[in-house]
Amino acid sequence: MNTPLDLNNFRVKAAPPTIFYIPNFITKDEEEYLWRQVYSAPKPKWTHLSNRRLQNWGGLPHPKGMVAEDLPKWLETYCEKIAELKVFEEKVPNHVLVNEYEAGQGIMPHVDGSLYYPTVSTISLGSHTLLDFYKPLQSSESGDDTSQIHSTSLKERYMQSILLEPRSLVLVCDDMYKVYLHGIAECKSDVMTDKVANIDLCETANIGDNLQRTTRVSLTIRYVPNILKAKLVFGKKR
Ligand SMILES: O=C(O)CCC(=O)C(=O)O
Ligand SMILES: [Fe+2]
């Protein structure tokens, strides 16, 4: 067995707590294998959104609990590999969202919320992308309509970005999960500036580079703690 990675070597020091970035977490062969698995999923497995497509694996997270479905072997393997890093305490991730972005597509700034254990792990396939982080609205700004008039623009709330290279793993934990928003801008290329907080950990990019995006597939791997037993859903005779 391989010795587990020492995550301390992969901490993004220029970001608020806590982000770990691991370049080449998987090999090119594994990347090709995962890519093939994603694209051999049955057509109805894809959900089409305006700016991306996705596949949901493991069950639909719900405030009342998730009716868990077995993950296919090809995803389970990577959930187990990530569990070895102990970022979900002793738990093994049980939910995977596959997102596909063409060049020019993205995802609006958002927080992943409380249905998941507050750590997200993402493997990138195909293209790089830039994951942008934003400060939340001040509490005085959220709330009623009048306060929205004074709300700070997203541009002002932009904090920094993390370059996600193909085959990398990023772990977003603690305040970076719970407090800050993340999103992917809808653009076709990304210039590397000093706002790219993990540039020193990246293997393929330097400040000043302009990276052209192609199709990217991400595997967003999480742990849903609140699991419903199917029996309870359909009711049990007393
Ligand atoms: O594709 C990514 O890396 C981000 C996806 C994401 O933020 C999400 O699915 O919640
Ligand atoms: Fe997200």
- Answer yes or no: is pLDDT of 229 > 70: yes
Give residue 3's pLDDT: 72
Point out the ligand 1 atom lying closest to the alpha carbon of residue 182.
Answer: 7
* 112 Cβ inside 6 Å of ligand 1: yes
Closest ligand to C-alpha of residue 101 is 1
Three-class secondary structure of residue 115 per DSSP: coil
Angle at 171 between CA 179 and CA 89, to 5 degrees: 90
Confidence check: pLDDT of 231 > 70: no
Query: What's the pLDDT score for residue 138?
Result: 74
CB-CB contact of 82 with 91 (8 Å): no
**What are the tokens at 43?**
């057509």
Which tokens belong to 34? 């995962």
Q: Which ligand is nearest to the CA of 180?
A: 2
Give the ligand with the smallest distance to the CA of 220: 1
Quick check: CB of 107 below 6 Å from ligand 1? Answer: yes
Question: Does residue 10 sit in helix, strand or coil?
Answer: helix
Q: CB atoms < 10 A from the CB of 157, how many?
A: 18
99 lines ligand 1 (CB under 6 A): yes
Q: Supply angle C-alpha 178, 179, 181, rounded to 5.
A: 100
Q: With 70 as the cut, is the pLDDT of residue 200 above it?
A: yes
Phi, psi of 119 (to 5 degrees): -145, 135
Q: pTM higher than 0.95, yes or no?
A: no
Atom of ligand 1 minimally distant from the CA of 131: 3
pLDDT of 165 > 50? The answer is yes
How far, in Å, CA of 126 to CA of 116, rounded? Answer: 26
User: pLDDT, tens digit, for every residue of 59-100?
Assistant: 999 999 999 999 999 999 999 999 999 999 999 999 999 999
pLDDT of residue 4: 75
Q: Which two tokens stand for residue 150?
A: 């004074």
Check pocket membership of 161 for ligand 1, CB cut-off 6 A: no
Which has more pLDDT, 46 or 151? Answer: 46
Does the C-beta of 122 come closer than 6 Å to ligand 1?
A: yes
Tokens of 70: 């077995």
**In DSSP terms, which residues pair with 221 in a beta bridge?**
96, 121
For 27, residues 6+ apart whose C-beta sits below 8 A from its C-beta are 167
How many helices and strands (H and E) does the chain possess? Answer: 6, 16
Mean pLDDT of 105-121: 96
Please give the residue that has the higher pLDDT: either 230 or 162. Answer: 162
The residue-averaged pLDDT of 210-231 equals 93
Please state the φ and ψ torsions of residue 82, each to the nearest 5 degrees: -75, -35
| Nearest protein Cα to ligand 1, atom 2 | 218
What is the ipTM score, two decimals?
0.99
H helical segments located in the chain: 28-39, 73-83, 145-149, 154-157, 174-178, 230-233
Alpha-carbon distance values, 17 to 97, 131, 173 (Å) = 24, 16, 7
Position with higher pLDDT, 141 vs 96: 96
Residues 17-70: tens digit of each pLDDT: 999 999 999 999 999 999 999 999 999 999 999 999 999 999 999 999 999 999
Q: Are 177 and 91 in contact (CB under 8 A)?
A: no
Whether the CB of 220 sits within 6 Å of ligand 1: yes
Beta bridge partners of 132: 161, 183
Distance (Å, whole) CA 202 – CA 57: 29
